[in-house]
Structure 1
């Protein structure tokens, strides 16, 4: 009997310990390998803009300049960062929104031959080329009809800053209906019943020292085959 009591105590203690472990596991759970990583309480909280969208604001300190050295000098990301550091108003999302609007306005104004609408949107050199093309079309008695069905995408592909001149190149992929008619109204190019998928690469420029926030189109091209 003297030996049986301690043995019974050990059994009771083992059962109690097992019960405690079972309760802890039911409360804390088991690791399955798919748990979300717990946030670091000492990490710096992310900054946000007025709209509540989390963004990383550029650091204009000397340390940021050293960190930028890790970027490839000619990369698009480095170009965008240089423009941001020089012009705190630049935001690529707002820029692309404006670029898409300008794209539609310029394409439609060129088709209509509206040089007055084109002039404030183009550089002096590019405006001369557009105006000459419109004049040649009018002399030939031709008319052009262009309808932008939709702009599928607009993506920045190049960005540079040289001598206070910021240049941003955008690749537009759009669906358009384009038709050219002769003086008799006959279709000489295009098809009014066909939607073409077109890719255009446009470069916009702006002097960041200017108070005028508007960008001007300075070059256009199409992708090389």
Structure 2
């Protein structure tokens, strides 16, 4: 048995050694096709490095191809900005020529002035202020009103709260907003806007009874508000926020 086992083992070893030698000869042999494949790979790598350029300091950085026509536009000059502002202002349909003149005067200090963009922002501020006043949200009002107007609004809220009254209000929307006055005084721009809006509003006493207004009826409301913004210096103009500076009743 032991002699038979030794012969079988020897034969198995010979076969294994022969297989290993054959496998190594096959794996280690490189054909002409393999050589061509390696050369093509090396050529692609060289071309990729050349496209990346000398500034590509890391293999982890991928340099995007650039086109010669993608040249940054030159910075706009002050004259160009002013001309663009004049075009926007003259395109705004002001009902009073004095409004156009006032807007042009403001644009001399603030060439970024755009009447249409201002009205969009003023309309958003109008809705926020009207809603914040109804809710008694002093914090929101503080960010949108000048000091004098804020004092008047907070006093009215405190008076309402002292009577334990609440306001039920729903802002329906603005039907029309137009700039009716524009003025520059001491480096401060003042723009007055007439808002024609729709509200549903009712005041309730502490028991919940309606004492004024109607919670079921849409009411037309007209407000004339003046917004202000310091445009005297570049630093002042960096603050793009306008604040409500005055309110008045319509004529």
Whether these two folds match at TM > 0.5 is yes
- Tell me the matched-pair count: 156
Match of 1:198 in 2: 221
The Cα of 1:58 is off from its aligned counterpart by 4.6
Deviations 1:71-91 (A, max 9, x none): xxx811100111112101111
1:221 and 2:248 are equivalent in the alignment: yes
Match of 1:156 in 2: 179
Q: 2:164 aligns with which of 131, 136, 141?
A: 141
Match of 1:123 in 2: 146
Match of 2:118 in 1: 95
Higher helix share: 2
Q: Distance in 1 between matches of 2:121 and 2:185?
A: 22
Q: Distance in 2 between matches of 1:57 and 1:145?
A: 44
The answer on whether the counterparts of 1:107 and 1:146 sit within 8 Å (CA) in structure 2 is no
Unpaired stretches in structure 1, ≥5 consecutive residues:
1-55, 60-73
Match of 1:170 in 2: 193
Which TM-score applies when normalising by structure 1? 0.67
Match of 1:84 in 2: 107
Deviations 1:111-169 (A, max 9, x none): 00000010010001110110010001001000012211110011000000011010000
Deviations 1:95-115 (A, max 9, x none): 000000000000000000000
Which TM-score applies when normalising by structure 2? 0.60
Q: Which has the larger radius of gyration?
A: 2
The answer on whether the counterparts of 2:169 and 2:199 sit within 8 Å (CA) in structure 1 is yes
Q: Distance in 2 between matches of 1:109 and 1:58?
A: 33
Match of 1:17 in 2: none
Q: Distance in 2 between matches of 1:215 and 1:87?
A: 13
The answer on whether the counterparts of 1:157 and 1:170 sit within 8 Å (CA) in structure 2 is yes
Q: Distance in 1 between matches of 2:208 and 2:103?
A: 47
4+ residue runs of structure 1 moved beyond 3 angstroms? Answer: none
1:183 and 2:206 are equivalent in the alignment: yes
Match of 2:137 in 1: 114
